[in-house]
Amino acid sequence: MSVGAAAGAAGPGRAFMSIGEVLGLLRPDFADITISKIRFLEDEGLIKPERTSSGYRKFSREDVGRLRYVLAAQRDQYLPLRVIKEHLDAIDRGLEPPALGGGGPKVPRALVAAEGLPGPEAFRPEVSEMRLSRAELLEAAGLEPAQLEQLEQYGLVAPRAGGVHFDGDALVIAKTVAEMARFGIEARHLRPFKAAADREIGLLEQVVTPLVRQRNPEARARADEAVRELAALSVKLHSTLVRAGLGPGLRR
């Protein structure tokens, strides 16, 4: 059980608990727990409860979660406190604790996985069957005519080649812009997005052009696969750079 999961089972929603209340929470699962043992684990540095002005310990839900983790690791895995400390240190640093078979802490797979982001299959070329008139696009996206004109002016959306209807991609772009408009962002502010997308497309084409020129069905298939994978990686990189650039201060 992770510290976070253990904290979720800590019980009362109060901000702080006394040592007696913590004992009552833990005893149903750990019959041999005592106040002396809790104090011992504190002395060993596995928990660090705050103190009142009178010197009494006040335990947070996180403290209770750490205690559950320590007690379960001792009971179920027979781990010494030194090893449990290493596990807690890894968890505190956002890592996964070392495996029982040895080795050091590991970076969580979810951190480097494209969680919630489009994968290569999302970039498989498909012909959209959607055909939207100008009026239908405006209604579906929630845009004003002037806003759509600006999107067309800056090259963010356009009717299907050789026609007057808009496809599904145009709808997604238009609706996204309409949602961003609630924050005062206008089409003119989004020109860098279009320019960046065009540069990324140019880079991907440059990478796969040698394969395409081979005029070999297998080479073309590899080119298509490479484009999809690179497109997904590009989105992942962009998303992570924006998230990192915002910093914790702006996300509060």
From first to last of the 252 residues of the chain, give the pLDDT tens digit.
456 555 444 444 457 899 999 999 999 999 999 999 999 999 999 999 999 888 899 999 999 999 999 999 999 888 889 989 988 988 887 777 776 655 666 655 555 555 667 777 777 776 567 788 999 999 999 999 999 999 999 999 999 888 888 988 899 899 999 999 999 999 899 999 999 999 999 998 898 888 878 877 888 888 888 888 888 888 888 888 888 888 766 655
Q: How far apart are CA 195 and CA 197, in angstroms?
A: 5
Q: Are 157 and 193 in contact (CB under 8 A)?
A: no
Sole residue written with tokens 């253990």: 6
Query: What residue spans define the domains of the chain?
Result: 3-111, 120-251
Q: Are 231 and 123 in contact (CB under 8 A)?
A: yes
Q: How far apart are CA 28 and CA 23, in angstroms?
A: 9
Class of domain 120-251 as given by CATH = mainly alpha
Residue 207, CB half-sphere, CA atoms under 13 Å: how many?
16
**pTM beyond 0.95:** no
Q: Are 167 and 128 in contact (CB under 8 A)?
A: yes
Q: How far is CA 238 from the centre of its chain?
A: 13
| Four-way CATH pick for 3-111: 3.40.190.10, 3.40.50.1820, 1.10.1660.10, 3.90.950.10 | 1.10.1660.10
